[in-house]
Every structure is written in C-alpha cells, then in structure tokens.
Amino acid sequence: MRLAHGVFVAFLALVPMACKQGEGPASSLLGCAKELSGGIRPIAQTRDRRFLGKVQESTARCRGGENAAQRRDVPWVDWRNYYATGNEGSKSFWSFRNFRGVNGALIDLEYQRAELIKFNLFDNSGTFEQYMTTRDGRTGRALKTWREMRLPPSHPSFKAVGGDGPQLCRGNLIRARTLTGICNDIRNPLMGSTGMPFARNVEFETTFPDAGLTPITRNRHGDRLSLLTPDPQVVSRKLFTRVQTDSAACADGHGKPGYAKDANCDYKKAPFFNVLAAFWIQFMTHDWFSHLEEGHNSPDFMKVGCASQKMNGVETPLSPADAARLGCRPGDEMDKSYMADSTPPPRFTDGSREHWGRAPRTSRNTNTAWWDASQIYGYDERSRVRVKRDPADPARLLMPPLPGAKTEGERQGYLVTLDPKDPMNPEWAGQEATGFPDNWTIGMSFYHNVFAREHNQFVDHFRRRAAQTPDEDSGLRDPSDPTRVIRYRDVGADELFEAARLVVAAEIAKIHTIEWTTQLLYDEPLFRGMNSNWNGLVGKETGVSAALEKVVEKLRDSEKGDKANTWYAVFASGPGIFGLGSRKPGWSVANPDDVNGGINHFGSPFNFPEEFITVYRLHALVPDLIEYRELQNPNEIRNKIPVVETFRGKATDFMRERGLANWALSMGRQRLGLLALHNHPRFLQNLSMGRL
Ligand code: HEM
C-alpha cells in the first residue's frame, strides 16, 4: 500500500495550490507538475529503500528552482537548497516559492522521522522480540505497555502502583517529578528511570563491528574498527588537535601566568553561537544520561592507545619519537566502562529471519532519562543528599548571599559547596553541592546557580501571593483527592519545592527546544519544526488543529502498528504537544488517560540510545580560554581565563570571586567552537583526571 506522506493532510492539500499559483520560470512550475503527477513517495518497506534526503529532480526544481536541481549531486540532503531554507539569499521574491521551499523541507524531514521510527528503535531492556512480532494478538509496534517496564516486587512503590495486578501510577507518584524518574509514563512505571539500559539506533548485531556478527560488518569493517582501532590517541592528535599560531601563548590551554590577556589559543569559531550555548548542552546532557557512577567507570583499567599508526596502509608501531612528535602518551590508561549485560543475547525468529534480542553488550543510564532537571535535583537517594534545601524555608534551595552582596542578583546568593560528609567522589570537594557534580567548570557552576536562583524566585513569588491571598485557590491539585481546592495557605514546603522543580524542568525543556536548538540549526524549516513540537504547525485553537487532535487520538489508540505509527508521527506535528489532550474540555487529573495524554512510544520503550550519547560528546564547542569581561566596561577583555583553571572546585571560587553577571557577559560575548576537525580543546586532550 502506498502511504501518502507529508506533514499532514491539510498541508499536503496546499502543496498543489502552491505549485499552481507560483510564478516565475516555467521550469520550476513544470517541476511541481511532475512531482504531483509522479504521485507521493511511499514509506520504505525495507531499510535499504529508505529516504536519505535526496529527492527527484522535478521535486528539487519545484521546491528550489535550478539551484536545487543542480545541487542534487552533492551527498548532503537536498532540502538545504530549497527556497527560503538558508540565509536571506535563499529567499525568492515570490512568496509561494518560499512556501514550497520551506514546506517541502518539512515534508522531507517528516519522511526521515517516519522512517527513523520505523527502522531505528532498538530497545535493550528485553522488549525487542515483542516489538518485532506480536503479543496477545497485537502487533508489536502498537504495544503500549511492557512487562519489562513494571516495578519489581522489591521496589518500594510496587504496592502503590498495583503490585502484581495491572500497574498504574497514581496519587503522589504523579504529582511531581519522582526522584528516580519512575511513573513518567503512568502505565510503564519503570521506563526511563535511573539504571535502565540504554537503547540502540541500529540493529543489535551490527553494534560491535569487531565481533563480525553479520556479513556486512565483516565485509565493511573487517578487523579495521574496534575500540582501540584505529588508535584513539593517534586519531585525536592527527585529526582533532587545534593548530596554534603561537604555541607559547596557548600553552596547551593553560594560557599565561596571571590570566594575562595576551594569551591566545586559536580555535575555529562558529559564526552565530556563544560559549553559554556550549555549556548549556553540557548542562542538558547531565540531566539526560551518564554512563559513569559518581564520576568514575569500573575498577578495571586498560591501555588506551598511542601504540600504532597507519603507514602506507599498514598498521605500524609508534616509536618514542613518533609519540613525542604527535604529543600522545603511550603509558595512558583509563578505567573500563561499566557493562550491564555482556552475556550472549537471546535470539528469536520473526518468520523470515533471525534477530538478536539485545546488543551483545549493554550499559545502563545511571541518570533518569527524562527532562526532569535531575542534574539539579538528583536522580537517586545518594545524589539527592547533595541537594541542599534552605532550613529557613525548605521549599527553597540553600543559596546564602556572599558577605557584602550589593546588587539584586548578588542578594539571591550562590549554591553552597559540598559538605565533606556528603556522598561524593573526593575529586569534587570544594564544588557547589548539586545532583550531578561531574566535569564541573565555570559553565556548570553558571547554569546550576542560575537555575537554583530561578527555583527560589518561583518559591518567593508563590510565597508573596500566599501572603496576599492566603485563602485563594493556589491552582495546585492533589491527584489522590482531585476535586479538593488547595488554597495558598495549605501548600506545604515539600509541595512547593516539587512544584518549583516542575516549573524549572519545563522552562529548561522549552529553552532547549525553541531557543537553543533553533539557534544551533539556524534556518526556517528547523525553526518551524521545533516550534511545532509545542504549538503545532497550524497554530493554537483552530478548527484544523481540533480536527487533527481527533485523528491523532485515534491513531495513538490504533492496533495497526507500523501504518498507524507513521500516520501518528505525521499528524501529531499538526496540533503539537499542547493539542494532544492537554487542553481537552473536562481534562482531569483523576483520569489516567488525560494524565498520560499524548504518549506514544511507537512500540518501543524510551531511553537514550548509545549513538545519541556518542554524537553528543560535543567537546569541540568549548574554547580553551574564556575572554573575561566585566559589566562596567563590557567591551574590554580583561583576562584570558583557561577553562582548565576552572575545573572542579576552582570553578566555585572563580564564580564567587567574579560574580555570575560578569561570567554571563563574558561567555555571552564569546563565540563557541565550530563542530569541525582540528578543533578539540587542547586542555581536554591533556586533562588530568584524578582517578586515572
Ligand atoms: C569544560 C567542559 C567539559 C569537560 C571538562 C568535560 C569532560 C568530560 C570527560 C572527562 C568525559 C569522559 C567521561 C568518561 O567516559 O570517562 C566527558 C564525556 C562526555 N562529555 Fe564532556 N566535558 C566538557 C564539556 C562537554 C560539552 C560542552 C558537551 C556537550 C554536549 C559534553 C558532552 C559529553 C558527553 C555526551 C560525554 C559522554 C558521557 C557518557 O558517556 O555518559 N561535554 N566529558
């Protein structure tokens, strides 16, 4: 069956109109006519037929004119060449061309999303066989709950969610973020909680090419690819090292004594993004995932390269002189990763072929996978001890002002440092106390202090309102007693603390999706796409969005697997997240379907895939030296402060000495590093880690 695909039907209906009304060279219109007469591309049935961002010549011509048609030969996706999808110069005088360009790009992106959902979900927690086959007569891709996502009898909340019977989170478990991330999906309590296995984006048997488990991995990679092949230190030195015009001025990222401003470490700068944005994404990753436990890997150590390089196609041992020239270190060792399961995976057949039930080796997310601000608030009992609440008002985070704080900002205070009695990696001593303290520098100190202040601002505002109108409805509700109006005066400190966390987590998710990402991927289709996550492509509260909401609901509840999933992905971008049940008339916290509204996991429970974490190691974003400025004279660079000089507890001292506002100015005025070769921070290639 040929499936029609676009962003959604109403939108597709507009495309012919757009093509017919477009003005300009006949060739572009002819392209539109050809595109229409050719019918709509079906969603691929097999992964080798998938859409790779390359369209027909006529389609390219319709959406981007001759320029797009001619640039189909380059390996990159075509939509970047459509009308109005790049900078000002990509815009046409004719608005309908721009319409075709931007919406054509969205259609391409939607195809890729639909096929990613179809071909790239590989859950490692034991549900994959169900996904590929059927369970209780239901096709795997339409499954909504899994045995593997139930709380086990040993879990303290086992009884509360229904014990051995059907499990459903309710009451306090759905009132706020839970510490370990359980009950985010109220019918799959364990999903995304601390300690669940990371997923994969590619077929399990291809995940360790060196194991040679398939003919493709054997033929394509042979013995040429494994953890230590090619040699990681040699790759780093040859391909990542930032070339310096004046090595002495950089000193491997250590700058000059006294933070002298004539220090300089060259790096390739992105034209449109600042250093705050670099640390923002590190701050996000600390919310989403970690392979490490308390900042360390397993107790087993291993050598990590600087052993050989390829010479004339032959792997040749490095001589001491080679190592010195490259700058790598043959003696370096590091602690091996923790593994969750390295036993032989179960296998099954789906009729036509044999599959692996999980990857040959899996690892766990030691954090909650949710966007729940767990880097601030903690993700297990141990990390929660590090989160300090204000004894004077336990709804607040403890942030005493420094002596002599003068400005309004400074009076909001700074996070306290870790107590020697706190559970922690000894290397973290002297740092601010927080849920996730690893790899701390001035950037992490900045964001943790900013959002802790934001938490307290919310609490203070709430308290002011409570003082003015103690008997008014606070707007909060308790799912255990949903009709009870909770007055301001009735709200306890713990309830308010958790409400503030909900607000902070929501702010973070919104900043990331519609401010950070739209600035990183700086073009109109991505701007529309990211905003549509929240508000929908058709905007709020229209007849079209209401109709789409109904369709999306039906598709979500469909048992038809693949087809319904694909259509769901397509239509859901119409109403966006706000349209998916959250503004339904009569919405009630007492109704589990309302609370879980909008959820569709496409047959595969959620966790981050290992591949995501690999590509998010965006270290090239970080400069070696921060160009430090002060508010009194913002155009003057006063110092060049090495990021490495702010590593761990030193960040805390720098933050307090120089103040949050000056750091905001400095990092906000400096460009971050481009994601390119030869652009890795020198200091990160040479970072001295206490544990290694
Ligand atoms: C000065 C700033 C930074 C420092 C000192 C730092 C340090 C480190 C270190 C030492 C590791 C290795 C951990 C290990 O496997 O042993 C690591 C991993 C990682 N870093 Fe960074 N990093 C910084 C900035 C960033 C930024 C800006 C990003 C951007 C997203 C980032 C993303 C990651 C990711 C995704 C990992 C892998 C984490 C995991 O496997 O669980 N880091 N970082």
- For 163-212, the pLDDT digits (tens) are 999 999 999 999 999 999 999 999 999 999 999 999 999 999 999 989 89
Angle at 384 between CA 458 and CA 661, to 5 degrees: 45
277, pLDDT greater than 60: yes
Peptide bond into 230 cis (omega under 30): yes
577, pLDDT greater than 80: no
Average pLDDT score over residue span 214-243 = 92
Atom index in ligand 1 nearest the CA of residue 335 equals 16
Which pLDDT value is given to residue 21?
36
Least confident residue range of 138-142, 229-233, 617-621, 627-631: 138-142
Task: Supply the residue whose CA is at minimum distance from atom 11 of ligand 1.
Answer: 439
Residues 458-470 pLDDT 10s: 999 999 999 999 9
Q: Is the distance from the beta carbon of residue 277 to the nearest atom of ligand 1 less than 6 Å?
A: no
Return the half-sphere exposure (C-beta side, CA atoms, 13 A cut-off) of residue 397: 34
Average pLDDT score over residue span 66-80 = 96
585, pLDDT greater than 80: no
Contact between residue 57 and residue 63 where contact means Cβ atoms under 8 Å apart:
no
DSSP assignments along 340-384, one per residue: SB-SPPPEEE-SSSEEESS-SSB-B-SS-SSSS-HHHH-SSHHHH
Least confident residue range of 17-21, 64-68, 394-398, 663-667: 17-21
Res. 557 pLDDT band, cuts 50 70 90: confident
Res. 5 pLDDT band, cuts 50 70 90: very low
Average pLDDT score over residue span 143-166 = 97
CA distances (Å), origin 439, targets 265, 337, 612, 647 = 21, 17, 19, 7
26, pLDDT greater than 70: no
Spacing, Cα 372 to ligand 1 middle (Å): 20
Which pLDDT value is given to residue 540?
63
Which pLDDT value is given to residue 485?
97
CA distances (Å), origin 579, targets 8, 223, 248, 532, 597 = 14, 51, 58, 10, 10
Top-confidence residue, 133 or 544: 133
Which pLDDT value is given to residue 19?
38
Which pLDDT value is given to residue 7?
40
Contact between residue 209 and residue 217 where contact means Cβ atoms under 8 Å apart:
yes
Q: Is the distance from the beta carbon of residue 589 to the nearest atom of ligand 1 less than 6 Å?
A: no
Average pLDDT score over residue span 65-91 = 96
Those residues with Cβ within 8 angstroms of residue 155's Cβ, 6 or more apart along the chain or in another chain? 182
Q: Is the distance from the beta carbon of residue 296 to the nearest atom of ligand 1 less than 6 Å?
A: no
Spacing, Cα 619 to ligand 1 middle (Å): 7
Which pLDDT value is given to residue 579?
66
Which pLDDT value is given to residue 13?
35
Q: Is the distance from the beta carbon of residue 282 to the nearest atom of ligand 1 less than 6 Å?
A: yes
Res. 9 pLDDT band, cuts 50 70 90: very low
Average pLDDT score over residue span 550-562 = 81
Ligand 1 mutation pick, 617, 625, 650, max ligand atoms within 8 A of CB:
617
Which pLDDT value is given to residue 12?
41
Res. 10 pLDDT band, cuts 50 70 90: very low
Can you tell me the distance from the alpha carbon of 432 to that of 414, in angstroms, rounded to the nearest whole number?
Answer: 9
Residues 469-502 pLDDT 10s: 999 999 999 999 999 999 999 999 999 999 999 9
16, pLDDT greater than 70: no
Using CA atoms of 132, 349, 193, 534 in order, give the dihedral in degrees to the nearest 10. -20
Can you tell me the distance from the alpha carbon of 285 to that of 618, in angstroms, rounded to the nearest whole number?
Answer: 10
Q: Is the distance from the beta carbon of residue 547 to the nearest atom of ligand 1 less than 6 Å?
A: no
The dihedral built from the CA positions of residue 320, 322, 326 and 332, taken in this order, carries a sign that is: negative
Q: What does pLDDT average to over the chain? A: 92
Residues 80-99 pLDDT 10s: 999 999 999 999 999 999 99
3-state secondary structure of 86: coil
525, pLDDT greater than 90: yes
Can you tell me the distance from the alpha carbon of 361 to that of 124, in angstroms, rounded to the nearest whole number?
Answer: 10
Which pLDDT value is given to residue 587?
83
Q: Is the distance from the beta carbon of residue 621 to the nearest atom of ligand 1 less than 6 Å?
A: yes
Q: Which two tokens stand for residue 266?
A: 């060259």
Ligand 1 mutation pick, 336, 425, 619, 670, max ligand atoms within 8 A of CB:
619
Task: Supply the residue whose CA is at minimum distance from atom 5 of ligand 1.
Answer: 439
Compute how many other C-beta atoms are within 10 angstroms of the C-beta atom of residue 43: 23
**What's this model's pTM, rounded to 2 decimal places?**
0.94
Which pLDDT value is given to residue 541?
65
The percentage of residues in the chain with a pLDDT greater than 70, rounded to a whole number, is 95
Can you tell me the distance from the alpha carbon of 491 to that of 473, in angstroms, rounded to the nearest whole number?
Answer: 10
Which pLDDT value is given to residue 597?
76
Which pLDDT value is given to residue 580?
67
Spacing, Cα 282 to ligand 1 middle (Å): 7
628, pLDDT greater than 70: yes
18, pLDDT greater than 50: no
Can you tell me the distance from the alpha carbon of 641 to that of 442, in angstroms, rounded to the nearest whole number?
Answer: 10
The percentage of residues in the chain with a pLDDT greater than 90, rounded to a whole number, is 79
Can you tell me the distance from the alpha carbon of 300 to that of 401, in angstroms, rounded to the nearest whole number?
Answer: 43
566, pLDDT greater than 90: no
Spacing, Cα 204 to ligand 1 middle (Å): 25
Q: Is 83 exposed, middle or buried (0-12, 13-18, 19+ CB in 10 A)?
A: buried
Ligand 1 mutation pick, 282, 288, 337, 672, max ligand atoms within 8 A of CB:
282
Q: Is the distance from the beta carbon of residue 406 to the nearest atom of ligand 1 less than 6 Å?
A: no
396, pLDDT greater than 60: yes
552, pLDDT greater than 90: no
